[in-house]
Amino acid sequence: MAGIPLSDDYPVRRTPVVTYTLIAVNVAVYLLSPMSLLAVWYGDPAARGCAVEGYLLRWAAFPAELLSGARLSAEQVASFTACPVAPAAIWPGLSAVTSMFLHADAWHLVGNMVYLFVFGPCVEDRLGRLRYPLIYLGTGVAACYGFALAEGAAVVPMVGASGAISGVLGAYLVVQFRSRVTTLLLGVLPVRLPGWMLVATFFALDYLLYLGSSLYPQDGQQQGVAYAAHVYGFLTGLVVGLLVYRVRWGAGARLSDVH
């Protein structure tokens, strides 16, 4: 996007501990992964190819696994890497959760965490500390399976919190679209924009890129961005946000009528 969100003007009523915890976990997992330059126990960063591929086979989400419900076969592993590594013997559906805490590089991590830091506290405050992490994880899983359906039975690793954060943005559009967000436009000019405008632009751009990657799949693979996950995560967050927020609001209204 052309703008980088800096802050939201919604005054949260309590410390957003769930959002901060999610950010801390994402950062910690990245720093301990072979993708981090600080993880010196993996050896020379220039010679970590096999370590990275083994790590991805263990923790990333692969469409072929999600759609079949089975771990990659030896032939599929060989098509992904020539290194002597094998996927972990875990349920493939679990990788839809573990993959959302992995990031390819520091910029990937920072970009996702900025959006979570700005928009997460509001959604956590409006939906509650119990519902919020369930929505975060649920939309992240839905984004993974949406990506798998879009890609087919491909042996392509998916990593990153983008799908879950897209779900948070979808919920944000429901619970606090009136907020104004201070945004660094073109990386240099701070402006205050309506929250709904920023979030809707995010979705529209990702949707167009998703359509483009569907029409020209080779270009999408070269970019290495799972636009399908962004789109499905956002739509899931929007729907779940409507359901949860409407139910909560309706219950509050009935309680007021009784008193």
List the chain pLDDT tens, one digit each, 259 residues: 557 888 888 888 889 999 999 999 999 999 999 999 888 888 887 788 889 999 999 899 999 999 988 888 888 888 888 888 876 667 778 999 999 999 999 999 999 999 999 999 999 999 999 999 999 999 999 999 999 998 888 888 999 999 999 999 999 999 887 888 888 877 678 888 888 888 888 888 888 888 876 665 555 444 457 888 999 999 999 999 888 876 655 444 333 333 3
For residue 191, give the H/E element and its range. strand 189-194
The beta strands (E) that lie in the chain are given as 3-8, 180-185, 189-194
Q: Which positions ≥6 away from 10 have C-beta within 8 Å?
A: 121, 122, 125, 176, 179
